């Protein structure tokens, strides 16, 4: 029995598309089917054997025609998104509620419905107490494997859908997934109503069992000239929890460099040493070059990449430069494959750490959180940490795959309004990367196969 069949069963035996009773033994009607979703213990009006209750379509005055049309939602001649949502609102809390949802569930078995429709359907299911069914709708649980269709339902990616999914995860006790969903909302829309409050509350609840890794938040200021280095600092270009990055000039070699200074200065010696050694060990395509470092003073000199990061491009309002997506997303997948093949996990894949030598040559920077596969993970950037890692799982390549999916999502959400072509396949891959572990590409090599 497929998930969708189980979902329809939970809606109530009589709530079948078309209003007919489900077939039972010998073709008889299912006894006492209750489309309202009430429990069996609740009183019902007695039925007269001489006057059985009709199980057919409700009359036009009762809105039966509108309810029946939900079965064709998403089809060319079916109702519009606005019409579907209006019908669901009218059916809410009435005897037609279960039938309306059953029609939509049947429609989802055949075609992919728009996010707003699925969110409205999931919200109605949640109100009926079927939280798992609501999540199934939001997660796109009807797959081609279940229904033999060429189409594949995708998890919702709208802000409203993610907030509802986060609430459902939290209600079911899946706090890491709830935090992951709400962080995706915050990265996209920091002012989304209730998002920050949810994030703080759930992080606190999760932290009661697993304390978050400490982060240094010191303010770092560096003078324009440093007597112990050959670099002349020109301007600050980035700042994060670990340190600040400056554009600088190597006065001896006459070249520009990226000068990263850690907030802890000498106190970060072990961290700086590990980061630069790992970056040097992984040197090659897709990894930023390290020129020099002083662990005692807490600085690293890196290659200067004038275009900056994917985050810089997005913040500058130049998202169109990132189309076509394949130009930079494919080599980025290959870079992750190299790192995973060496037995390491980057653990901080996000737009700010994807630098662009040119639009077809991305490089990963900041290996401060990188760990060998299977080692305990440490810290992470909110919005880009997989739910499994939030739950305490050791370092795993699937965490980088999740970060890759988030980078794609951040870019796609800005490219879609521009009408760029060829985004559908990348959106599907992004949502796969953000999905459950068993559906996510297991490592960079699998990611490369998915993008080629």
Please tell me the distance from the alpha carbon of residue 179 to that of residue 75, in angstroms, as a whole number.
35
Q: Where are the beta strands (DSSP E) in 231-294?
A: 231-239, 243-250, 255-262, 290-294
Task: Provide the residue count of the chain.
Answer: 452
CB atoms within 10 A of CB 15: 26
Asked whether 180 and 390 are in contact (CB, 8 A), the reply is yes
The two three-digit tokens of residue 234, written as one number? 């020109």
The two three-digit tokens of residue 258, written as one number? 């990226």
Please tell me the distance from the alpha carbon of residue 248 to that of residue 424, in angstroms, as a whole number.
40
Instruction: Output helix, strand, coil percentages for the chain, rounded to the nearest 5.
Output: 45, 10, 40
| Neighbouring residues of 56: CB distance < 8 A, sequence distance ≥ 6 | 19, 20
Cis ω on the peptide bond leading into residue 357 (within 30° of 0)? no
Query: In angstroms, how far is CA 183 from the centroid of its own chain?
Result: 9
Residue ranges in 232-360 assigned as alpha helix (H):
269-281, 310-315, 326-341
**Does residue 34 have an active-site annotation?**
no
Asked whether 279 and 293 are in contact (CB, 8 A), the reply is no
Active-site entry in 123, 348, 400, 410: 348
CB atoms within 10 A of CB 229: 18
Give the sign of the dihedral formed by CA 145, CA 146, CA 148, CA 150: negative
Active site residues: 348
């Amino acid at each position: 029995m497929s998930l969708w069949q189980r979902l329809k069963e939970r809606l109530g035996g009589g709530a079948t598309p078309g209003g007919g009773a489900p077939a039972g033994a010998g073709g008889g009607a299912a006894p006492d089917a209750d489309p309202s979703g009430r429990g069996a213990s609740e009183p019902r009006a007695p039925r007269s054997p001489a006057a059985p209750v009709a199980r057919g379509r409700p009359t036009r005055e009762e809105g039966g025609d509108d309810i029946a049309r939900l079965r064709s939602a998403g089809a060319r001649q079916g109702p519009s998104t606005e019409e579907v949502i209006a019908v669901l609102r009218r059916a809410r809390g009435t005897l037609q509620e279960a039938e309306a949802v059953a029609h939509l569930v049947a429609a989802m078995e055949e075609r992919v419905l728009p996010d707003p429709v699925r969110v409205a359907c999931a919200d109605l299911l949640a109100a009926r107490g079927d939280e798992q069914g609501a999540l199934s709708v939001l997660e796109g649980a009807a797959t081609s494997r279940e229904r033999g269709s060429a189409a594949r339902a995708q998890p919702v990616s709208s802000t409203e859908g993610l907030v509802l999914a986060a609430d459902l995860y939290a209600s079911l006790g899946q706090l890491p997934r709830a935090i992951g969903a709400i962080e995706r909302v915050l990265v996209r829309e920091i002012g989304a109503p209730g998002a920050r409050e949810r994030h703080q509350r759930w992080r606190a609840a999760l932290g009661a069992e697993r304390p978050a890794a400490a982060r240094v938040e010191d303010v770092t200021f560096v003078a324009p000239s440093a007597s112990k280095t050959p670099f002349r600092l020109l301007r600050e270009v980035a700042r994060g929890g670990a340190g600040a990055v400056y554009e600088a000039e190597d006065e001896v070699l006459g070249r520009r460099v990226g000068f990263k200074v850690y907030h802890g200065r000498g106190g970060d010696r072990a961290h700086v040493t590990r980061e630069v050694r790992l970056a040097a060990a992984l040197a090659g395509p897709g990894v930023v070059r390290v020129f020099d470092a002083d662990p005692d003073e807490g600085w690293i000199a890196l290659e200067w990449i004038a275009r900056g990061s994917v985050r810089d491009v997005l913040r500058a309002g130049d998202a169109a430069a990132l189309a076509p997506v394949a130009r930079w997303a494919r080599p980025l997948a290959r870079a992750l494959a190299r790192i995973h093949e060496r037995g390491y996990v980057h653990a901080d894949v996000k737009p700010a750490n994807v630098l662009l030598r040119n639009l077809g040559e991305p490089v990963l920077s900041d290996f401060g959180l990188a760990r060998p596969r299977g080692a305990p993970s440490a810290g992470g950037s909110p919005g880009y940490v997989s739910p499994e890692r939030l739950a305490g799982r050791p370092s795993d390549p699937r965490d980088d795959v999740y970060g890759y999916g988030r980078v794609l999502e951040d870019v796609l959400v800005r490219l879609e309004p521009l009408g760029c072509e060829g985004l559908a396949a990348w959106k599907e891959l992004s949502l796969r990367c953000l999905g459950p572990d068993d559906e996510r590409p297991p490592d960079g090599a699998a990611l490369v196969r998915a993008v080629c």
